[in-house]
């Protein structure tokens, strides 16, 4: 199979990641739940991975990294933990439902008011337009780093500057960029970075987390910038306290962590650091451009997005007026090529592109794809388009 659905999850993992998970399944106890060697060894792995993530994303220290099962959980923790009743929140049409649905729920319950920054016909937002949406009660700004549908990127450093100039908290969804684009939380001014481990970070599913900027990490309990816990329960410490511990990261990590997945993520970070994030990005961009140049001139093919600015390795397209699910099925059944059709959990982005009824076929590329696979995918698109 030619796997070109890496924006959903990376299928090909480094062998070291697989080995780490298998070893963990055989040896790991429960982190922070005992003094025997299997528990202590797990705690060491968790802490080591926390340190690597902190360094990788420019956090002040490992205590500013909290593990979750994915970026969706991380975004729910960040949004719900920082919003206060009566706040106004700004987000964009580029967002995934992992951002939109928590905000819609808070809007429905009349906890917040909400403004959504519009995108143009190519799915691009202009950060300069944010200022016009800010109100006296605006408290939070939430944006993706890159659209999971078009690959268009947001200049998060510029958005962070706008947010901080206006006293706003800035939350970033890095689902599509963590592991393939450089991110530095402190230098870029990000207050909370939400990431998943199973995409660009090349780790197992069921891993992810929050990287918490110093403004939020140092906020006093009771303040508007204090990140409240989303769930409460066992932590292995302060067991006689009726309340969730206030220290980070324990405040946000109730329950047993996914130690087996974290062990795999630890190995994945080693792989990325060894290869180099710039080298990974360069190869993925080259594969994307090879595919783009091969399909964009095919009669009947419409490609979506902005290809003149920095982006992630995604090309979404349609063929004639055919339903995207039909095209993706043909690619799978006749050519053994895996893609993602439909709405991609990005309803407002499809509205901006005018593809609500048709959806789109998304091709997304990984460091482990090859030029031969790209050429075969281009040929498949050409064959389908010509077979009217």
- Give the architecture-level CATH label for domain 2-10+276-386: Alpha-Beta Complex (3.90)
Do residues 195 and 78 lie in contact, with contact meaning Cβ atoms separated by under 8 Å? no
Dist CA 22 CA 17 (whole Å):
9
Whether 127 has a pLDDT exceeding 90, the answer reads: yes
Averaged pLDDT score across all residues of the chain:
96
Whether 31 has a pLDDT exceeding 90, the answer reads: no
Whether 77 has a pLDDT exceeding 80, the answer reads: yes
Ramachandran class of 344: left when φ > 0, alpha when ψ lies in -120 to 50, beta otherwise = left
- pLDDT-based confidence at residue 34 (cuts at 50, 70, 90): low
Q: What share of the chain has pLDDT > 70, as a percent?
A: 99
Residue 388's pLDDT is: 73
Residue 169's pLDDT is: 98
Burial class for 261, CB neighbours closer than 10 Å (0-12, 13-18, 19+) = buried
Domain spans of the chain? Answer: 2-10+276-386, 15-273
Residue 299's pLDDT is: 98
Sign of CA dihedral 213, 215, 218, 222: negative
Whether 38 has a pLDDT exceeding 80, the answer reads: no
- Bridge partners of 304? 316
- Bridge partners of 315? 363
* CA-closest candidate to residue 303, choices 285, 287, 288, 325: 288
- pLDDT-based confidence at residue 241 (cuts at 50, 70, 90): confident
Q: pLDDT tens for residues 184-224?
A: 999 999 999 999 999 999 999 999 999 999 999 999 999 99
Dist CA 353 CA 306 (whole Å):
11
Dist CA 261 CA 74 (whole Å):
16
Q: What share of the chain has pLDDT > 90, as a percent?
A: 90
Whether 32 has a pLDDT exceeding 70, the answer reads: no
Dist CA 95 CA 79 (whole Å):
14
Dist CA 340 CA 360 (whole Å):
8
Q: Please count the CA atoms within 13 angstroms of the CA of 246 that sit on its side-chain side.
A: 7
- The residues, any chain, with a CB within 8 Å of residue 234's CB and separated by 6 or more, are 254, 255, 256
3-state secondary structure of 157: helix
Residue 37's pLDDT is: 74
Residue 236's pLDDT is: 76
Secondary structure of 285-316 in HEC code, one letter for each residue: HHHHHHHHHHHCCCCCEEEECCCCCCECCEEE
Mean pLDDT of the region 149-165: 98
- Same fold: 2-10+276-386 with 15-273: no
For strands 208-212 and 192-196, give the pairing.
antiparallel
Dist CA 102 CA 332 (whole Å):
33
Please tell me the CATH code under which domain 15-273 is placed: 3.40.640.10
Whether 239 has a pLDDT exceeding 90, the answer reads: no
Query: Tokens 């190995």 label which residue?
Result: 267
Largest Cα–Cα distance of the chain, in whole Å?
A: 70
Q: pLDDT tens for residues 313-356?
A: 999 999 999 999 999 999 999 999 999 999 999 999 999 999 99
Residue 233's pLDDT is: 87
């Amino acid at each position: 199979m030619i796997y070109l659905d890496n924006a959903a999850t990376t299928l090909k993992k480094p062998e070291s990641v697989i080995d780490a998970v298998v070893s963990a399944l055989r040896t790991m106890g429960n982190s922070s739940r005992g003094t025997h060697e299997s528990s202590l060894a797990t705690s060491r792995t968790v802490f080591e991975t926390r340190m690597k993530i902190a360094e990788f994303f420019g956090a002040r220290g490992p205590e500013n990294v909290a593990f979750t099962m994915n970026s969706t959980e991380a975004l729910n923790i960040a949004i719900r933990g920082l919003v206060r009743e009566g706040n106004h929140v700004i987000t964009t049409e580029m967002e995934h439902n992992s951002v939109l649905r928590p905000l819609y729920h808070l809007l429905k319950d009349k906890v917040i008011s909400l403004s959504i920054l519009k995108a143009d016909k190519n799915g691009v937002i202009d950060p300069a337009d944010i200022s016009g949406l800010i109100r006296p009660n605006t408290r939070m700004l939430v944006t993706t780093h890159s659209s999971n549908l078009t690959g268009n990127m947001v200049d998060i450093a510029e958005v962070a500057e706008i947010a901080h100039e206006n006293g706003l908290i800035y939350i970033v969804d890095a689902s599509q960029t963590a592991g393939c684009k450089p991110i530095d939380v402190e230098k870029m001014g990000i207050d909370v970075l939400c990431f998943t481990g199973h995409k660009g970070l090349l780790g197992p599913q069921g891993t992810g987390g929050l990287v918490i900027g110093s403004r939020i990490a140092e906020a006093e309990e009771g303040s508007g910038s204090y990140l409240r816990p989303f769930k409460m329960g066992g932590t292995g410490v302060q067991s006689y306290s009726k309340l969730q511990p206030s220290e980070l990261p324990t405040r946000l990590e109730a329950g047993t962590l996914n130690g087996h997945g974290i062990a795999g993520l630890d190995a994945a970070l080693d792989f990325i650091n060894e290869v180099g994030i710039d080298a990974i990005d360069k190869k993925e961009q080259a594969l994307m451009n090879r595919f783009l140049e091969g399909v964009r001139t095919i009669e009947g093919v419409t490609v979506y997005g902005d290809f003149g600015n920095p982006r992630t390795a995604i090309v979404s397209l349609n063929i004639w007026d055919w339903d995207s699910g039909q095209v993706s099925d043909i690619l799978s059944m006749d050519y053994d090529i895996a893609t993602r059709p439909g709405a991609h959990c990005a309803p407002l982005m499809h509205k901006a592109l005018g593809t609500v009824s048709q959806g789109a076929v998304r091709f997304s590329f990984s460091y482990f794809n090859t030029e031969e696979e790209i050429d075969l995918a281009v040929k498949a698109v050409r064959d389908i388009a010509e077979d009217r």
